[in-house]
Amino acid sequence: MSDRMLTMAEAVREAMSIAFDERPEVFLLGEDVGIYGGAFGVSGDMYHRYGAERVLDTPIAELGIVGAAVGAALSGMRPIVEIQFSDFTAQAMDQIANQAAKIHFMLGGALHVPMVLRTPQGSGTGAAAQHSQNLEPWFASVPGLKVVVPSNPADAKGLLLAAIDDPNPVIFLEHKLLYKIPGRDPVPEGATRIPLGVSKVVREGKDLTIVATGIMVNKSWEVCEKLAAEGISITLIDPRTISPLDMNPVFESVEKTGRLMVVQEGPAQAGFINEVIAQLAGSSSFGSLIAPIKRLAGMNIPIPYAPQLEKAAVPQLDDIEAAAREIVKNWR
């Protein structure tokens, strides 16, 4: 069947299950991933299907969880770690940034760490500052880590399978609000892989190029649909892998549209999306710009608890729509 509409949680579970079936060395560990089925229900029934040896419930000790995974990866296993909230990766950062990311390089390529660290991120759940962050730049700024930010179930499945295949550590950032909603596109059956490091042109237009990550791809899509009715046609690009970053589609698109807007959920200051702006500004495509580059990003504050303030702290549909219309209207 080619019209299967899955949620991202289902798609991620399916990818993990395929990897479990393909390779005996793949296993999952994390807090509540076993009997409970995962804090967001992503592992679901996998504990019952694959048993306690391959779906490991761990103590609440992130540094220990990732340390165990790095050790297992070094000795021939392919661990998938789930950290319950991406905010908690701070606890495990030494294992992630100083061990997993660097071992391959510091040992001259003799050893490597084929580990995938999956973790839900983002705001919009009323869970306040310590459970709502978007930490894309933390990981994207560490050489040696690959960083994947899927925006839809089909991509999540294909990218996760590629991430598990990868011989080096991959950070896989899943947005909580996307877990329960079906994607726009059906999820293909079987073990279809999507290579890391390839940006996706989600739709093509001639007036504006939007580059967005994660959930902002979905919000931007809705804006594209709405503005198309007004005669504004937009190219929407989803990098999907923010490290390594594939800028070529962005260069090609900006040379056609002359206008660039970037959208991310995380705080503006030193955010990942700034990298897109920097690379464009330093490229020969810069001379194609007919408008200043517009950046939409979160405010430089911890995510507030109050729902109205939480919404106001990150770009919403209206913000994206207004900014897109303004840049096209004001710069001709």
Partner 1 sequence: MSFKYPVVMPKMSMTMETGELINFHVAVGDHVKNGDVLFEVMTDKIDMEVEAPADGVIEALVANPGDVVEIGKPVLIMLTDTEVMAFDFGTDNEPVAAVEVVAAPAPVVAAPVAPAAPVILNETVKAVPKARVEAANRGIDLRTVRATGPDRTITMEDVNGAQLDPAIAKRQAANKALIAKGIEMTRSIAQASFTRSVNANFDHATFIAAWAKVLRNRPDLAAHQHVGVALIIESKYGSALPVFKDPDQLKIADLAALVASTTDAAKNGKVPVAMLSGATTTVFDLTTYSMSSATPLLFPNQVTSVTIGYESATTKIVSLTIDLNFCDFYDGALLLDALVASL
* Residues designated as active site: 62, 131
- Residue located via tokens 């991430």: 163
Supply the minimum distance, in Å, between the C-beta of residue 73 and partner 1.
46
Of the two residues 316 and 330, which places its CB atom closer to partner 1 in the complex?
Answer: 330
By CB under 8 A, tell whether 258 contacts partner 1: yes
Mask for 53-82, x = binds partner 1 (CB under 8 A): ------------------------------
Distance CA 93, CA 309 (A): 29
Structure tokens at 50: 């694959």
227 to 119, 235, 319, 322, 331: CA distances (angstroms): 33, 12, 13, 10, 16
Q: How far apart are CA 237 and CA 198, in angstroms?
A: 11
Nearer CB in complex with partner 1: 229/332: 332
Cα distance between residue 55 and residue 46, in whole Å: 7
Contact 100, 54 (CB under 8 A): no
Residues 287-306, interacting with partner 1 (CB under 8 A): 287-292
Please tell me the count of residues contacting partner 1 according to CB under 8 A. Answer: 11
- Residue (91 or 288) nearer to partner 1, CB: 288
- Residue 277 Cβ, how far from partner 1 at the closest point, in Å? 13
Closest by alpha carbon to 276, among 328, 321, 313, 239? Answer: 239
Q: Does 322 bind partner 1 (CB under 8 A)?
A: no
Verify binding: residue 251, partner 1, rule CB under 8 A. no
Min CB(330)–partner 1 separation in Å: 5
Mark 261-290 with x for binding to partner 1 (rule: CB under 8 A) and - for no binding: -------------------------xxxxx
Are the CB atoms for 298 and 267 separated by under 8 Å? Answer: yes
- Say if residues 265 and 307 touch (Cβ distance below 8 Å): no
Q: How far apart are CA 258 and CA 288, in angstroms?
A: 5
Minimum CB distance to partner 1, residue 291 (Å): 6
Q: Min. distance of Cβ 310 from partner 1 in angstroms?
A: 31
Instruction: List contacts with partner 1 (CB under 8 A).
Output: 258, 286-292, 330-332
